[in-house]
A and B are shown apart, each in its own frame.
Chain A
């Protein structure tokens, strides 16, 4: 099992360009999350999806959109990238019950110039 995978691993965008970050999980978990981590900071929740077909805003949703395509996949879209969105983006998946352990992907390092 790959767990949580993210593509791409690295990306450089110019201001105003758009892109979609992809996340997939093979653990059959209901909940999925997108976080961003700025240098020297902890993770901040952008959006989450408690189950297929639902999405909700987290702490810092402005400038982003998400799609829960199916149970496995949860994508994050930047419609018009800004330098303030330069960050490392992590996707995570978790089961609905039990210990609620979140499993994280390796991250996507995004630079907006």
Chain B
């Protein structure tokens, strides 16, 4: 599976959009991009995933570049409860292994 690169930390003002980038320049055509987050020391929580098209759900939006070498997770109106470590992961379809990396620690500032 391709590996990902994320900035180690980011800050975002409460109420503003948080844009978290991820580089996956070696991604293959059958690999999906997944985003998870881990709040404090709890188990990670699924946020969203996508293959080629942009995706949106009740939690976030996922923007994938046309060449699929990078993506951005967007939290449209960040709240203090969004403070967490965000992991960008690529996974082969029907593959069983996730490589979490070290993620981006997002701090939402009041």
Could you list which residues of chain A lie within 8 angstroms of chain B, going by C-beta atoms?
4, 31, 35, 40-45, 48, 50, 56, 58-59, 88, 90, 92, 99-107
Contact = CB atoms under 8 A, between A and B. Distances in A.
Contacts of B87: 42-43
A103 B46 CA distance: 8
B43 A105 contact: yes
Interface of B: 32, 34, 36, 41-46, 49, 87, 91, 96-103
A88 B41 contact: yes
A43 B100 contact: yes
Nearest to A105: B43
Nearest to A40: B102
Nearest to A44: B100
A50 B94 CA distance: 10
A11 B102 CA distance: 25
Given A42-B103, A99-B49, A50 B42 contact: no
B43 A92 contact: yes
A58 to B, nearest CB: 6
B49 A42 contact: no
Contacts of B41: 88, 107
Contact of A58 (B36, B42, B97): B97
A41 to B, nearest CB: 6
B46 A101 contact: yes
A33 to B, nearest CB: 8
B88 to A, nearest CB: 10
Given A45-B98, A100-B91, A106 B103 contact: no
A59 B46 contact: no
Contact of A106 (B32, B42, B46): B42
